[in-house]
Chains A and B, each alone.
Chain A
Amino acid sequence: MNALDLSRWQFGITTVYHFIFVPLTIGLSVLVAGMQTAWHRTRNPLYLRMTTFFGKLFLINFAMGVLTGIVQEFQFGMNWSDYSRFVGDVFGAPLAMEGLLAFFLESTFLGLWIFGWGRLSPRLHLATIWLAAFGTIMSAYFILAANSWMQHPVGYRLDPETGRAELTSIWEVLTNPTTLVTFPHVIFGAFLTGGMFVAGVSAWHLARRRDVPLFRRAMRAGLVFSLVAALGVTVSGDVQARVMTEQQPMKMAAAEALYETTSHASFSLLTIGSLDGGEELWSLRVPHVLSFMATGAPDGTVEGVNDVQRAYEERYGPGGYTPVIPITYWTFRLMIGMGLLAGLLAAAGLWLTRRGRLPGGPWFHRAALAGVALPFLANTMGWIFTEMGRQPWVVMGLMRTRDGVSPDVGTAEVVTSLTVFTVLYAALAVVAGALMARYARQGPPPQDRTPGADEPMPVFSY
Chain B
Amino acid sequence: MEPTTVWFTLIAVLWTGYFVLEGFDFGVGVLLPVLAPRRRALDGGGTTEVDRRLMINSIGPVWDGNEVWLLVAGGATFAAFPEWYATLFSGFYLPLLVILLALIVRGVAFEYRGKVDSARWRRNWDRAIFWGSLIPAFLWGVAFANIVRGVPLDAEHHYTGTLFTLLNPYALLGGLTTLAVFTLHGAVFLALKTDGEIRWRARGLLTRLCAPVAVVAAGFLAFTQIEHGRPMTWVTAGAAAAALLGGLAAALRGREGWAFTGTAVAIALTVATLFGDLWPNVMPSSTADAFSLTVHNAASTDYTLKVMTWVAVLFTPVVLVYQGWTYWVFRRRLTREIIAPVETGSGAEAAR
Contact = CB atoms under 8 A, between A and B. Distances in A.
B303 A166 contact: yes
Q: Which of B80, B108, B114 has its CB near the most chain A CB atoms (within 10 A)?
A: B108
A461 B349 contact: yes
Nearest to B322: A108
Contacts of B74: 73-74, 77, 99
A9 interface: no
Interface string A74-98: 1011110110110111111101111
A109 B318 CA distance: 13
A108 B100 CA distance: 21
A445 B346 contact: yes
Contacts of A417: 93-94, 97
Given A103-B71, A103-B72, A413 B352 contact: no
Given A71-B104, A407-B158, A104 B85 contact: no
Contacts of B223: none
Contacts of B61: 111-112, 114-116
B267 interface: no
B329 A96 contact: no
Contacts of A420: 97, 101
Contacts of B329: 112, 116, 119-120
B78 A104 contact: no
Contact of B86 (A77, A109, A120): A77
B352 A456 contact: yes
B66 to A, nearest CB: 9
Given A66-B64, A96-B76, A166-B304, A88 B85 contact: yes
A84 B115 contact: no
A59 B111 CA distance: 8
Contacts of A97: 75, 311
Nearest to B89: A77
A435 B352 contact: no
Interface string A248-287: 0000000000000000000000000000000000000000
Contact of A168 (B158, B303, B308): B303
B213 to A, nearest CB: 28
A195 B111 CA distance: 24
Interface string B293-321: 00000001101100110011001100100
Given A85-B83, A88-B82, A435 B319 contact: no
Given A413-B94, A431-B108, A114 B304 contact: no
A461 B352 contact: yes
B93 A92 contact: no
Given A111-B61, A457-B351, A78 B307 contact: no
Contacts of A79: 90
Interface in B184-219: none
Contacts of A416: 94, 97
Nearest to B162: A410
Contacts of B46: none
A81 B71 contact: no
A453 interface: no
A431 B40 CA distance: 30
B75 A119 contact: no
Interface residues on B, range: 35 or more
Nearest to A446: B346
A111 B158 contact: no
A98 B75 CA distance: 8
A82 B89 CA distance: 12
A88 B83 contact: yes
A247 to B, nearest CB: 24
Interface string A23-63: 00000000000000000000000000000100010011001
Interface stretch (B52-60, B169-177, B226-234): B52-60
A457 to B, nearest CB: 6
B330 A119 contact: yes
B266 interface: no
Contact of A409 (B93, B111, B319): B93
Contact of B78 (A56, A76, A82, A168): A76
B71 A70 contact: yes
A408 B91 contact: yes
B326 A108 contact: yes
Given A63-B112, A74-B96, A100-B319, A85 B82 contact: yes
A111 B64 contact: yes
A63 B77 CA distance: 25
Contacts of B26: none
Contacts of A76: 78, 85, 89
The binding surface of chain A is classed by DSSP as helix
Contacts of A166: 300-301, 303-304
A283 B77 CA distance: 51
A89 B304 contact: yes
B60 A115 contact: yes
Interface in A115-171: 115-120, 166-168, 170
A462 B300 CA distance: 42
A442 interface: yes
A110 B68 CA distance: 13
A234 interface: no
Nearest to A90: B304
Nearest to A455: B351
A435 B68 contact: no
B158 A92 contact: no
Given A78-B97, A88-B83, A456-B352, A101 B112 contact: no
A367 interface: no
B105 interface: yes
A98 B78 CA distance: 12
Contacts of B315: 100-101
A70 B319 contact: no
Contact of A89 (B60, B108, B300): B300
B341 to A, nearest CB: 12
Nearest to A72: B71
Q: Which of B71, B97, B312, B340 has its CB near the most chain A CB atoms (within 10 A)?
A: B71
Contacts of A88: 78-79, 81-83, 85-86, 300
A424 B105 contact: yes
B139 to A, nearest CB: 13
Given A97-B311, A409-B93, A458 B351 contact: yes
Q: Which of B78, B83, B112, B307 has its CB near the most chain A CB atoms (within 10 A)?
A: B78
A79 to B, nearest CB: 7
Given A88-B79, A96-B311, 6 more contacts: A85-B82, A88-B81, A92-B77, A96-B75, A167-B304, A458-B351
15 contacts: A64-B108, A70-B103, A78-B93, A95-B79, A105-B322, A107-B67, A109-B322, A115-B57, A116-B329, A166-B300, A409-B90, A431-B108, A439-B347, A456-B351, A459-B351
Interface of B: 53, 56-57, 60-62, 64-65, 67-68, 70-72, 74-83, 85-91, 93-94, 96-97, 100-101, 103-105, 107-108, 110-116, 158-160, 300-301, 303-304, 307-308, 311-312, 315-316, 319, 322-323, 326, 329-330, 340, 343, 346-352
Listed from nearest, the 4 A-B pairs whose CB atoms lie closest are: A88-B82, A77-B89, A456-B351, A92-B79
